[in-house]
Amino acid sequence: MHLAQLPYSTVLFDLDGTLADSAPDILDAIASVLRAAGDPVPHMELSIIGPPLEGIFRKVCPDASDTKLARHVAAFCELYFGGTFPKSRPYPGIVPLLGRLRADGRRLFVATHKPEAAAFRMLELKGLLPFFDGVACNDSLPGRQLSKKEIIRLLMDRHGLAPASMVMIGDTPLDIRGGNEQGIATIAALYGYGDNAKVLAERPRYVTDDPEWKTLRTLEGM
């Protein structure tokens, strides 16, 4: 089965770990922030990537005070978000997949916990932005930090999207849970950064472990 064969006219993608392999730049920036603060740099699993920054640094520095975590987040934002993401790349099958979906008349959106400035910058620098009809992020509403469920809801409200027409694709439990909570179909990208057991525990409708997007199957078919 291929994604283009599914009956959904609207496809939502997470960004980090789903559209792009951005872990090298993210982990490098985290390590640089910790070194600059004189903190030890622990071994970091890819599964830390996905939640908002506060959650990432809480995992990396579980004993740090809220004040110190806030400083780390601010330093990361200054270092990472203004950069060019030199080591980040779209997964090998993403550009052909997006082109095929657009040619079929699908509407494509990004739903990510990445802040807007960084999300738009990465999508533009990596040549992905022209494929998408809209982008929603955790800071897309002033003064609030949105959950993945709320990010998806924002896209639905802004663009008049009907749940029955939609599918959400992501690599973390938060992506699958957010889609399920909004009553839309979900696809787990098992090639990404999430803990696969935890992702599958959220019961996605479909799964793929293929970064080239040549294979897709129902969860029951695993």
Burial class (CB in 10 A: 0-12, 13-18, 19+), 218: exposed
Supply the pTM of this predicted model. 0.92
C-beta neighbour count of 105 within 10 angstroms = 7
Question: What is the average pLDDT across 136-165?
Answer: 96
Mean pLDDT of 3-32: 96
- Given a cut of 70, whether residue 4 has pLDDT beyond it is yes
Q: What is the mean pLDDT of residues 143-163?
A: 96
How many whole angstroms separate alpha carbon 182 and alpha carbon 156?
Answer: 10
CB atoms within 10 A of CB 21: 21
Ordered by where they begin, the domains of the chain are 3-21+89-221 (3.40.50.1000), 23-80 (1.10.150)
**Higher pLDDT among residues 82 and 181, named by residue:** 181
State residue 222's pLDDT score: 46
**pLDDT tens, 179-200?**
999 999 999 999 999 999 999 9
What value does the mean pLDDT take over residues 29-35?
95
Tokens 């006219």 belong to which residue?
Answer: 9
- The answer to whether 135 and 116 have CB atoms below 8 angstroms apart is yes
119 residue type, one letter: A
Q: What is the mean pLDDT of residues 6-30?
A: 96
Say yes or no to pLDDT of 172 above 90: yes
Using the predicted structure, report yes or no on whether residue 155 has a pLDDT greater than 50.
yes
pLDDT, tens digit, 9 for 90 and up, residues 90-145: 999 999 999 999 999 999 999 999 999 999 999 999 999 999 999 999 999 998 99
Average pLDDT taken over every residue of the chain: 94
| Neighbour-count burial for 172-189, b at 16+ CB within 10 Å, e otherwise | bbbbbbbbbebebbbbbb
Report the pLDDT averaged over residues 23-36. Answer: 94
